[in-house]
Amino acid sequence: MSERVLTVGGSKASKPISDFLMVNDYEGPKAGKYYVDLNVAATGSGSPDHPFATVAEAITASNASIGLAANRWWARRNKIFVCGDGITENLTVLPEKCDVIGCGSDLVPYPRIIGHHTIALAKVGCRFINIGFTLDGTGVGLTIPAGCHGFQILGGMLQPSLAGNTVGVQITDSALFKIQGFEIHQNPGAYGTGICAVGISVAGIASTHQFLIDDCFVEATEGIDVVANSPAYGSRIKNSIIKATVLTIDDNSDTVIVTDNRLITAANIATTTGGYDFNLALASGNILTGLNGVAATVPFAVIAE
């Protein structure tokens, strides 16, 4: 079926947002699809030709449809497609059982949302795919509260404010979350000060288990922090490059599997525990580089028994 294009006065309107999608979007069972263009002059109905002006509007529409008894979409997934460049918006609600997918282009090949995002209530099964976050203020950039099980960030990036932020992404008591292919940078306009004090913070002692942080780049004062007494069994930090001032990974729970990471610290690693704090019995194949270019394997290689 060919796509209808709105015409006004005999000439075609600008291309619909669906033209910017990277894949053909016809798979899976029928569910809700909503479109957002952060650059439109006025908000629309959420259709490809008349997109919403904010992500929040699309989230409201998606959550209404997922929860509607007449739809019976409780086991399905909605999709929100977003394009736009550098528009300020602070999110306070996640879309439940929904993918928020970045398309189109900013300076990078996905949209970047300027602001900070403090989520108030638990929503399960939300995924951010190919979305950028440019932070303002100095606090936590993306706050995910307890109960957001299955939350995922796939691809995209996060950039702190010029003044720096306390935490880039903070996730509390949410099981089975995944952060994969995500990059946390310094602010290029304030190198050395526009940095997160902690890149990724895993908090809570009730149900934060079986999480995965994989194939990420994190540059922060402290790369990844896991709170003490977290029930992080089955959790993994793997295949990532982490650059920190002192601790690259600070797993105070001593329950996270840490494998095949490249860890870079400004600390002197002549002391064998410099630059990291995790359970060596659950570690394998990590390489740590420290002050003056000294490098070590973590855990340490056995030359001879």
Average pLDDT, the chain: 90
Q: Does the pLDDT of residue 5 top 50, yes or no?
A: no
Stretch 292-299: mean pLDDT: 86
Residue 239, C-beta contacts closer than 8 angstroms, at least 6 positions apart = 214, 215, 259, 260, 261
CA dihedral angle for residue 5, residue 10, residue 13, residue 15, rounded to 10 degrees = 50
d(CA 87, CA 104): 14
Stretch 159-185: mean pLDDT: 98
% the chain with pLDDT above 70: 88
Predicted pLDDT of residue 29: 65
Confidence band of 17 (pLDDT split at 50, 70, 90)? low
CA distances from 234 to 177, 211, 225, 263, 286 (A): 12, 7, 16, 21, 18
Structural domains of the chain ordered from first start: 30-298 (2.160.20.10)
In whole angstroms, what separates CA 60 from the centre of its chain? 20
Specify the DSSP class assigned to residue 274.
T
Predicted pLDDT of residue 6: 41
d(CA 63, CA 66): 5
Q: Considering all CA atoms of the chain, what is the largest pairwise distance in Å, rounded to the nearest integer?
A: 83
Element (H, E) at 206: none
Predicted pLDDT of residue 175: 97
Specify the DSSP class assigned to residue 245.
S
Q: Does the pLDDT of residue 10 top 50, yes or no?
A: no
* Nearest CA-CA partner of 127 in 180, 84, 191: 180
Express each pLDDT in 81-121 by its tens digit: 999 988 899 999 999 999 999 998 888 999 999 999 999 99
d(CA 83, CA 39): 8
Six-digit token pair at 12?
């075609």
d(CA 113, CA 116): 9
What residue type is assigned to position 305 of the chain? E
Cα dihedral sign, 157-161-167-169: negative
Predicted pLDDT of residue 9: 42
- DSSP H helical segments within the chain, as ranges? 55-66
d(CA 71, CA 66): 7
Adjacent-strand bridge partners of 88: 114
Which of the residue ranges 34-43, 185-194, 290-299 would you say has the lowest mean pLDDT? Answer: 290-299
User: Residue 129, SS3?
Assistant: strand
Confidence band of 272 (pLDDT split at 50, 70, 90)? low
**Full-model pTM:** 0.89
Express each pLDDT in 212-265 by its tens digit: 999 999 999 999 999 999 999 999 999 999 999 999 999 999 999 999 999 999
Adjacent-strand bridge partners of 198: 167, 222
Q: Does the pLDDT of residue 143 top 50, yes or no?
A: yes
Express each pLDDT in 118-133 by its tens digit: 999 999 999 999 999 9
* Nearest CA-CA partner of 160 in 183, 121, 186: 186
